[in-house]
């Protein structure tokens, strides 16, 4: 990635470097970033050549942002036990909507966000952790204590 960034620093419109950067992001699970770089490349080359690939990545990105098929406290606890803390936070956010004790659910989200900041989350690269923590902080701001 460092070599690609050096090439792009000299020539921000280098198609092969942009394509390779997009591919590396895709392979690391950062679909949103892969899509962003692919769209930049598409703007340079024109939509015809990359339209199908861009469309497929957009669908993957959309699918990755859908809420879990089912959200239960048991599922959230299992995800925590397995180290999937980001996924557990998402389940707790879904549970918050219908929780009898929203304060307790919110506190669990705060606790897990702190753990993610310190330890990360299983199978999540640094960029995903950063991005998801930003989303979590925004959500917490929208759902203040006692609301």
Q: Are 94 and 55 in contact (CB under 8 A)?
A: no
Tokens linked to 19: 């394509």
Q: Backbone dihedral region of 122: left (phi > 0), alpha (psi from -120 to 50 degrees) or beta? A: beta
DSSP 143: S
Query: Looking at the predicted structure, is the pLDDT value of residue 112 above 70?
Result: yes
pLDDT tens digits, 39-89: 888 888 876 778 888 888 888 877 666 655 678 889 999 999 999 999 999
Residue 116 scores a pLDDT above 90: yes
Stated pTM of the model: 0.54
Residue 100: CB partners within 8 Å, gap ≥ 6?
Answer: none
- Identify the CA nearest to 26 among candidates 128, 95, 147: 128
From 46, 64, 82, give the residue that closes a domain. Answer: 64
Last residue of a domain, one of 64, 95, 114: 64
Number of domains making up the chain = 2
For 4-53, how does the pLDDT look when each residue is reduced to its tens digit (9 = 90+)? 999 999 999 999 999 999 989 888 888 888 888 888 888 888 767 788 88
Residue ending a domain, among 41, 64, 87, is 64
| Domain identity same for 35 and 88 | no
Distance CA 17, CA 8 (A): 7
Range of the domain at 124: 73-142
């Amino acid at each position: 990635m460092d070599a690609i960034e050096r090439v792009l620093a000299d020539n921000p419109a280098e198609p092969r470097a942009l394509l390779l950067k997009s591919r590396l992001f895709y392979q690391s699970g950062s679909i949103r970033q892969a899509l962003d770089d692919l769209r930049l490349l598409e703007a340079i080359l024109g939509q015809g050549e990359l339209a199908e690939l861009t469309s497929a990545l957009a669908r993957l990105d959309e699918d990755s942002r859908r809420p879990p098929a089912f959200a239960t406290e048991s599922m959230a606890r299992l995800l925590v036990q397995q180290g999937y803390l980001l996924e557990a936070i998402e389940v707790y956010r879904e549970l918050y909507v219908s929780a009898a004790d929203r304060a307790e659910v919110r506190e669990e989200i705060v606790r897990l966000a702190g753990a993610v900041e310190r330890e990360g989350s299983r199978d999540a690269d640094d960029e995903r952790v950063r991005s998801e923590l930003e989303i979590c902080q925004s959500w917490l701001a929208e759902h203040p204590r006692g609301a």
